[in-house]
A and B are shown apart, each in its own frame.
Chain A
Amino acid sequence: GEDVEQSLFLSVREGDSSVINCTYTDSSSTYLYWYKQEPGAGLQLLTYIFSNMDMKQDQRLTVLLNKKDKHLSLRIADTQTGDSAIYFCAERGTDSWGKLQFGAGTQVVVTP
């Protein structure tokens, strides 16, 4: 199967910007997703981007996609303590079900 890779840990100070990076290998991916998982909870869909776009902004969130390098990033502006969570990126393949392939998740810790 295809691999999605993320760095495992990110520490950021409250008020700073966070940037979470992800690389994927399936060049035919149609959509790429970012999810947030807080302790003991399910996955919350934060945002997604279609593969023919290179940027998408939604309030404090900015997604950048470099399709040539198969690199996806999520920037969180003005990071708050409530942003502490695990963030997963996922690529949607072109199989008949469009299955999602997830990265291992990046644990983001926001410090005061």
Chain B
Amino acid sequence: SAVISQKPSRDICQRGTSLTIQCQVDSQVTMMFWYRQQPGQSLTLIATANQGSEATYESGFVIDKFPISRPNLTFSTLTVSNMSPEDSSIYLCSVRKVNEQFFGPGTRLTVL
């Protein structure tokens, strides 16, 4: 299995500011993913972040809005830039180990 921690666990931010979310895994993993879960909704993949390469973004998500870093095999960050109330969501980090995919506890973001 994999133990994933995220910081912060929650935050309340002002419109127009940026927030960086950190994801730490207890073991080395090649594939990391960032998801968004809007209130009462399912999960939507934002991007795939593999170490040593640029993140791959899904349709509807762009690097300027959601820059991602993946400096090593146990850590990644997602920044939510120039926030608006529509960015209020839970942001989840996820890793795949062989055939299992694990999720962090999420970062609950509220934008005022």
Q: Which residues of A contact B (CB under 8 A)?
A: 31, 33, 35, 40-45, 48, 50, 88, 92, 97-100, 102-105
Q: For the complex, what is the distance from the CA of A10 to the CA of B52, rounded to whole Å?
A: 44
A98 touches B96 (CB 8 A): yes
Name the 4 nearest CB pairs between A and B, nearest first: A43-B103, A42-B105, A42-B103, A42-B106
A42 touches B104 (CB 8 A): yes
Count of CB-CB pairs between chains A and B under 8 Å:
43
Chain B contact residue count (CB 8 A cutoff): 20
Knowing A88-B42, A103-B42, say if A42 contacts B92 (CB, 8 Å). yes
Knowing A45-B100, A97-B48, A99-B48, say if A88 contacts B43 (CB, 8 Å). yes
Task: Tell me the chain B residues, 71-112 only, with Cβ under 8 Å from chain A.
Answer: 92, 96, 99-106, 108
Does any Cβ of A come within 8 Å of B56's Cβ? yes
Does any Cβ of A come within 8 Å of B29's Cβ? no
Nearest Cβ on chain B to A101's Cβ, whole angstroms: 8
Cβ-closest chain B residue relative to A31 = B99
Given contacts A42-B92, A43-B43, A104-B42, 8 further A-B contacts (CB under 8 A): A31-B99, A42-B4, A42-B106, A50-B99, A88-B43, A99-B33, A100-B45, A100-B101
Q: Mark B1-25, 1 if CB is under 8 A from A, else 0.
A: 0001000000000000000000000
Offer 25 A-B interface pairs, CB within 8 angstroms, sorted by A: A31-B99, A35-B103, A40-B108, A41-B106, A42-B4, A42-B104, A42-B106, A43-B92, A44-B103, A45-B100, A45-B101, A50-B99, A88-B43, A97-B31, A97-B33, A97-B56, A98-B96, A99-B45, A99-B48, A102-B42, A102-B43, A103-B42, A104-B41, A104-B42, A105-B42
